[in-house]
Amino acid sequence: MSLLTVSGLGKSFGGIRAVDGIDFELKAGELLALIGPNGAGKSTTFNMVNGQLRADRGSIRLEGVELVGLKPRQIWRLGVGRTFQIAATFASLTVVENVQMALISADRRLYSFWRPAREHKRDEALELLKKVGMAAQADRPCSVLAYGDVKRVELAIAMANAPKLLLMDEPTAGMAPAERNDLMALTKDLVVERNMGVLFTEHSMDVVFAYADRMVVLARGRLIAQGAPSEIRDDPKVQEVYFGSGKTFEKKAVAAEAVP
Ligand code: ADP
Ligand code: MG
């Protein structure tokens, strides 16, 4: 069974069909990129999956369980995680304290709400930080971290909930190319190691072509193509919506940044 099954999904705002009946699946252990030009419906799709927007029609199932109609918190409890920007109020906490808080909150999800956290989870938090390459900075306040390092901590926080499906909306926005590659390589490792599914939106075609296992391409609310990066790169419909006719994705730039 697929981890995530989206079928006939639609959402309109006034007269605009932001998402107009799309179907796709995502398997455990798969990194799926959702791409398309501005206004294609990526964020709307994303927010229907995490429960911030309610679909007008269609269905979104996680291991067969219908998510349409559930609240974000309920969807999170079922094992759908997302990377959040670390809230300003948490910036004064240290790196490890942020991850400890996430672990305590995840414990409540996995066990019960009233059972107090037995320990402060520092060891477990350090373990997660080691995974994302941030153990050495565990006791620094988040407010002093470099941008790329904040992103690693956000990933550790999302992993605290042991999600089955992780949603990442433009995870590498604002990052330098080397940092982008580090973050995506790390994400890819986690996907493989935990057999987790990842759905991400991304502007950088270099990142998408280098790291996505599969891609779903939206344009004006419709799904116009899906498949492996190699299939999508040469798809005339995809090139048309990105460039108009006659141009193609830059293959050299992609090869230069590809996973070693
Ligand atoms: P993308 O993330 O691919 O750029 P969006 O999902 O944000 O696209 O938007 C898809 C379409 O829906 C756009 O035409 C956008 O203007 C419209 N839209 C998105 N959110 C809203 C909203 N809250 N109210 C009205 N229109 C919206
Ligand atoms: Mg968007």
Q: Domains in the chain, please, with CATH? A: 1-79+163-260 (3.40.50.300), 88-162 (no CATH)
pLDDT in tens, the chain (260 residues): 799 999 999 999 999 999 999 999 999 999 999 999 989 999 999 999 999 999 999 999 999 999 999 999 999 999 999 887 665 557 788 999 999 888 888 876 655 555 555 567 889 999 999 999 999 999 999 989 988 898 899 999 999 989 999 999 888 888 888 889 999 999 999 999 999 999 999 888 889 999 999 999 999 999 999 999 999 988 999 888 887 755 566 554 444 444 44
> Among the atoms of ligand 1, which is closest to the Cα of residue 36?
3
Q: Tell me the C-alpha distance between 188 and 253, whole Å.
A: 20
DSSP code at position 140: S
Q: Which element (helix H / strand E) includes 108? A: helix 95-110
Which protein residue has the closest C-alpha to ligand 1 atom 5?
41
Quote the pLDDT of residue 86: 64
- Burial bucket for residue 69 (CB in 10 Å: 0-12, 13-18, 19+): exposed
Tell me which of 44, 220, 222 to substitute to probe ligand 1's pocket, judged by most ligand atoms within 8 Å of the beta carbon: 44
Greatest CA separation found in the chain? 62
pLDDT score for 186: 93
Contact present, 210 and 254 (Cβ < 8 Å):
yes
At 66, the amino acid letter reads E
What is the C-alpha to C-alpha distance for residues 77 and 113, in angstroms, rounded to an integer? Answer: 12
Q: Which atom of ligand 1 is nearest to 218's Cα?
A: 3
Cβ atoms of 151 and 171 closer than 8 Å? yes
Query: Could you tell me the distance, in angstroms and rounded to a whole number, from the CA of residue 4 to the centre of ligand 1?
Result: 23
Q: What's the chain's Rg over C-alpha atoms? A: 19
CB distance 168 to 200 below 8 Å: yes
**What pLDDT does 205 receive?**
86
Residue located nearest, by CA, to atom 26 of ligand 1: 13
Sign of CA dihedral 142, 105, 196, 55: negative
The residue whose CA is least distant from atom 11 of ligand 1 is 18
Record the tokens describing residue 260, joined without a space.
Answer: 């070693």
Closest ligand 1 atom to the C-alpha of 38?
Answer: 4
Bridge partners for 167 per DSSP? 82, 199
Residue 246: what pLDDT?
Answer: 54
CA–centroid distance, 216 to ligand 2, in Å, is 14
What residue's CA is closest to ligand 1, atom 13? Answer: 39
Q: Which amino acid is at 182?
A: D
Residue ranges around ligand 1 (CB below 6 Å): 13, 16, 18, 36, 38-44
- Those residues with Cβ within 8 angstroms of residue 135's Cβ, 6 or more apart along the chain or in another chain: 126, 129
SS3 121: coil
